């Protein structure tokens, strides 16, 4: 993951204008489905070795995994389809899958850029392939101390994995060819008053000390993907912490925050993002493949109405070009079914604008749209 990109690494709209994406983006802008998506999010397994109480995928965990043979088969199908980038994510913890190293190697050697989101506990077991073949690795830590980590990211059986995760990140930082990120999800528990907000600055300092390339702070979502509001006292702490971490930003270390972080307010409710369009062209450029099905959009992981195939029994091309996906594509309306804040809302608006104003592509710099 590059951290010195035109418009910044989180400027997803700017990434649409790259030369490699021009053909598929033009088709999506015109309302046509490209032959294949540019980016695929792939959940190799739904199993996880942590038991985070706030996990947004909690209801979907520990329910299944791809066999090693099928995971390798899927990787080959994505290469054959011409997919540009794959994000190994979950659901569960992707590095728990016994065949994950072979899958990363097959994807990378097939010309696909590979990004990995992980809890960091298994990095040492896959250090060679991660160091040599991962375009970026983002580790979800959400704390700066073992005490806070143990409250918000407890291991199964109560084991605290914080020290392991930090050591693993140090190891990867010393060997990586791609980028390494430290992810911090802002969390709070109104009933008990617990929060990790006060550790944002310390976590950013730790990330820089470890040798990470960037530190990303993000808002917390409820199970329906709506951003959770915060009380005024906590917001004051958040503002102070964010001001402190900006001082750490330099040429070798970037502090990142999505635009959605600004949506966090003192209302304590679930902010709504009104959309006045009925189709989602971005979903023709990105898709999600999990052990429970292929889904139109990662925001709709586990939603039966967004499921367009069974990757256990169907080929990727068969699902992508199938009748079921066509029906889901026509029936899942952003104005009705996506009233949460979507980080690709701006990308959709840009795609609609391209219908009337064709664009000249810019040189390639990041395949992760």
d(CA 369, CA 354): 16
Sign of CA dihedral 92, 300, 342, 150: negative
Tens of pLDDT along 291-349? Answer: 999 999 999 999 999 999 999 999 999 999 999 999 999 999 999 999 888 989 999 99
Does residue 22 lie within any of the structural domains? yes
Cα separation values, 163 from 123, 147, 153, 159, 207, Å: 13, 11, 12, 11, 13
What total of structural domains would you count in the chain? 1
Q: How confident is the model at residue 146 (pLDDT cuts 50, 70, 90)?
A: very high
Q: What angle do CA 219, 257, 191 make, to 5 degrees?
A: 20
Tens of pLDDT along 251-281? Answer: 999 999 865 555 444 444 456 888 999 999 9
Other C-beta atoms within 10 Å of 269: how many? 11
Does residue 216 lie within any of the structural domains? yes
- What three-state secondary structure class fits 362? strand
- Closest C-alpha among 156, 202, 177 to residue 104: 177
H helix runs in 93-145, sequence order: 100-109, 127-133
Burial of 100 (0-12, 13-18, 19+ CB in 10 A): buried
- The whole-number pLDDT of residue 262 equals 52
Structure tokens at 316: 């990727």
For the chain, first and last CA: distance in Å?
11
- The whole-number pLDDT of residue 163 equals 97
Query: Is the Cβ–Cβ distance between 155 and 200 less than 8 Å?
Result: no
Does residue 202 lie within any of the structural domains? yes
Does residue 363 lie within any of the structural domains? no
Does residue 122 lie within any of the structural domains? yes
Q: Read off the CATH number of the domain in which 110 is found.
A: 3.20.20.70
Task: Tell me the pLDDT of the chain averaged across its residues.
Answer: 90
Q: What angle do CA 108, 138, 145 make, to 5 degrees?
A: 150
- The whole-number pLDDT of residue 228 equals 52
d(CA 268, CA 138): 29
- The whole-number pLDDT of residue 219 equals 76
- The whole-number pLDDT of residue 8 equals 65
Burial of 157 (0-12, 13-18, 19+ CB in 10 A): exposed
Does residue 4 lie within any of the structural domains? no
What is the domain range of residue 65?
12-354
- The whole-number pLDDT of residue 94 equals 97
Does residue 113 lie within any of the structural domains? yes
Q: Is the pLDDT of residue 236 over 50?
A: yes
Calculate mean pLDDT across residues 7-18.
85
Calculate mean pLDDT across residues 90-104.
94
Percent of residues, the chain, with pLDDT higher than 90: 73
Does residue 263 lie within any of the structural domains? yes
Tell me the HSE value of 132 on the side-chain side, using a 13 A CA sphere. Answer: 11
Q: How confident is the model at residue 221 (pLDDT cuts 50, 70, 90)?
A: low
- The whole-number pLDDT of residue 135 equals 98
């Amino acid at each position: 993951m590059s951290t010195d990109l035109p418009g910044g690494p989180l400027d997803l709209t700017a990434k649409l204008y790259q030369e490699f994406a021009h053909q598929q983006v033009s088709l999506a802008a015109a309302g046509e489905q490209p032959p294949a998506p540019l980016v695929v999010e792939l959940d190799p397994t739904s199993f996880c070795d942590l038991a985070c109480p706030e996990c947004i995928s909690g209801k979907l965990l520990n329910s299944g995994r791809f066999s090693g043979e099928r995971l390798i088969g899927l990787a080959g199908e994505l290469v054959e389809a011409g997919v540009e980038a794959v994000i190994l994510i979950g659901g569960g913890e992707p590095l728990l899958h016994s065949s994950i190293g072979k899958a990363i190697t097959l994807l990378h050697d097939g010309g696909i850029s590979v990004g990995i989101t992980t809890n960091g506990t298994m990095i040492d077991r896959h250090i060679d392939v991660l160091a040599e073949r991962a375009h970026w690795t983002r580790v979800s830590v959400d704390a700066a101390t073992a005490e806070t980590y143990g409250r918000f990211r407890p291991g199964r059986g109560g084991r605290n994995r914080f020290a392991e995760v930090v050591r693993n990140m140090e190891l990867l930082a010393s060997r990586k060819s791609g980028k390494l990120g430290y992810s911090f999800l802002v969390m709070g528990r109104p009933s008990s008053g617990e929060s990790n907000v006060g550790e944002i600055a310390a976590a950013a300092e730790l990330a820089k000390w470890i040798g990470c390339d960037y530190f990303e702070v993000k808002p917390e979502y409820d199970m329906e993907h709506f951003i959770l509001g915060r009380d005024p006292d906590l917001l004051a702490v958040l503002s102070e912490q964010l001001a402190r971490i900006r001082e750490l930003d330099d040429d070798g270390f970037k502090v990142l925050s999505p635009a959605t972080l600004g949506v966090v307010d003192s209302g304590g409710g679930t902010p709504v993002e009104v959309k006045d369009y009925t189709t989602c062209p971005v979903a023709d450029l990105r898709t999600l493949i999990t052990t429970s099905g292929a889904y139109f959009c990662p925001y709709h992981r586990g939603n039966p109405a967004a499921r367009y195939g069974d990757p256990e029994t169907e080929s990727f091309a068969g699902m992508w070009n199938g009748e079921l996906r066509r029906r889901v594509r026509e029936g899942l309306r952003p104005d009705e079914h996506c009233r949460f804040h979507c980080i690709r809302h701006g990308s959709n608006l840009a795609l609609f604008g391209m219908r009337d104003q064709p664009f000249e592509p810019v040189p390639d710099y990041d395949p992760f749209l």
